[in-house]
Structures are given as structure tokens and as C-alpha cells.
Amino acid sequence: MTPEPLNLGLLLLIPYRSMEARVFAALAAAGFDDFTPAQARVFQRIASGGSRLTDLAEQAQITKQSAGFLVDQLAKAGYVERVPDPTDARARLVRIAPRGAQAIPLAAEMVAEVEAEWTAHLGAAHVAQLREILTDLREITDPYA
């Protein structure tokens, strides 16, 4: 009996999780081993000038309370900081702290390494086609694009 083919969602998730595991391993090897994938999903959504907690929660598709908990953990570990919002004295922004800024290029380096391996395996033309297709798909799947 032939197994059922995997659905597209799983076929997209499996390589992502593989890349994510490689990024976490590289960061851990460099001493950034004190955060979780859930924290990283909030961290990676922080805008360059900072983000409001409500925006991070919405983008990560979690409750504001969960986002607040994750941001508190990231702040205790030195990855983010909360600062006053210059546009609203009542609000605060979450922005990347120096320790978080140090981790970003290491993660980007591993992402580039994984993408280079995928390109070597699939070929540059297929990777370019895949990127184009996924970019097109983002138009109907990513409300923050």
C-alpha cells in the first residue's frame, strides 16, 4: 500500500523545522542557549524600531498575556528591552537589546548556510522557482506581508 502524500503544509513545515533546529544549535554553540522556539517566534517579529506587545502577540498568533510572558523571559535573558514609545507616552515598545543584536548575525549565517545546502541539492533554478512560488503564496497567507 502506497503511503498518502504529505499535504503542502507539512511539506513546508518540515524544512522550516530543520532549518530552525540548525539555527538553534548554532546559537547554542555560540553561547545563546537560553531561549526557546516560542520566544524566538516573538523575537523574530520585533520591528527595527521596536514593536508594541499587542502587535507581537497578533503577529505570533498568541494572546497578549502569552506574548508578555515570553517578552519578560527574553528581557530577563538580555535579548530584548522595553522602552517608552515616543509616539504614545502611555505605551511601551519592545526592542532588541545588545545581546539579541549579537545573536541575529549568527542566526542569519546559519540560515544562509542551510539555504546554500538546499541550493546545492535542488539546483539554483529550482530554488529560484521555489522562492518565487512561496513569495506568491505569501500574498494570500501572510496578513503582515
Hey, is 79 helix, strand or coil? coil
Cα gap 135→89, rounded to integer Å: 37
pLDDT in tens, 90-137: 889 999 999 999 999 999 999 999 999 999 999 999 999 999 999 999
Residues 6+ apart with CB under 8 A from 58: none
Q: Is residue 119 part of a domain?
A: yes
Count of domains forming the chain: 1
Q: Is residue 2 part of a domain?
A: no
Cα gap 42→71, rounded to integer Å: 8
Q: Which domain holds residue 82?
A: 8-141
Q: Is residue 1 part of a domain?
A: no
Output the pTM of the full model: 0.88
Q: Is residue 12 part of a domain?
A: yes
Q: Is residue 132 part of a domain?
A: yes
Q: Is residue 3 part of a domain?
A: no
Q: Is residue 13 part of a domain?
A: yes
Q: Is the pLDDT of residue 145 over 80?
A: no
User: How many other C-beta atoms are found inside a 10 Å radius of the C-beta of residue 93?
Assistant: 21
Name the residue with higher pLDDT: 88 or 82: 82
CATH code for the domain in which residue 53 is found = 1.10.10.10
pLDDT in tens, 29-59: 999 999 999 999 999 999 999 999 999 999 9
Q: Is residue 120 part of a domain?
A: yes
Q: 32 to each of 12, 37, 42, 118, 142, how far by Cα in Å?
A: 26, 12, 16, 25, 29
